[in-house]
Amino acid sequence: MTVLVTGGAASGKSACAEHIAEMLHIKYGGPLYYLAAMEHKSAAARKRIAAHRRQRAGKGFVTVERERSIGETIFPLGTAGAVVLLECLTVLAANELFLPDGTCRSVHDTVRSMLSALRRLERRCACLIAVCSDIFAGGTAYSDAVRAYLDTLAEVRNRFAAGCSAVIETTAGIPIVIKGTVLW
């Protein structure tokens, strides 16, 4: 089973995804993983990471940090019956497109490698839940780098969503099922 949870900033998407993961963990009985893609480079990132850790404290998640190449993630408790919550495609797309050495991969190569990695991850676990921010409303005049990022994220999100069992959009803390059904 694959689930995409999307929404704007502070819309409740992470809390929704965590709740779905907890419910599916009860159903599947395997390990419950939180696959974190955010890099710890800035004070703002560290603050956000700390807030997410507090939010999921005591819920049974095993946190695995992987900023790139998620398809090759090593899970300490194995993946049989596992529920994996990937936080988030938005950050992962930036990490995959803009490399640590300052270079930028092509949109095509980034999309291809991300979708391949997501498919590998899907095959390895019972359920994959991915969070993705909706950052597409707004301006029209972007630099080439920002345009490449938006194009990458849009294509990955849309193609991933097409293959998902369920797609949920959150707004004002309210989950709205766009596709499929989810056990709440």
Q: What is the CATH number of the domain that holds 98?
A: 3.40.50.300
Crossing angle for the helix pair 107-124 and 144-163, nearest 10 degrees?
Answer: 30
Dmax (CA) of the chain: 48
Is 34 within the bounds of a domain?
A: yes
pLDDT attached to residue 59 = 85
Segment 114-123, tens digit of pLDDT: 999 999 999 9
DSSP, res 9: T
Average pLDDT, the chain: 90
Is 184 within the bounds of a domain?
A: no
Residue 138 to residue 128: CA distance in whole angstroms: 29
Which candidate, 100, 90, 116, places its Cα nearest to that of 4?
A: 90
- List the domain range (segments joined by +) for residue 15: 2-179
- Is the pLDDT score of 3 beyond 90? yes
Q: How many domains in the chain?
A: 1
Q: How confident is the model at residue 160 (pLDDT cuts 50, 70, 90)?
A: very high
Crossing angle for the helix pair 144-163 and 89-97, nearest 10 degrees?
Answer: 130
Mean pLDDT confidence for 59-79: 88
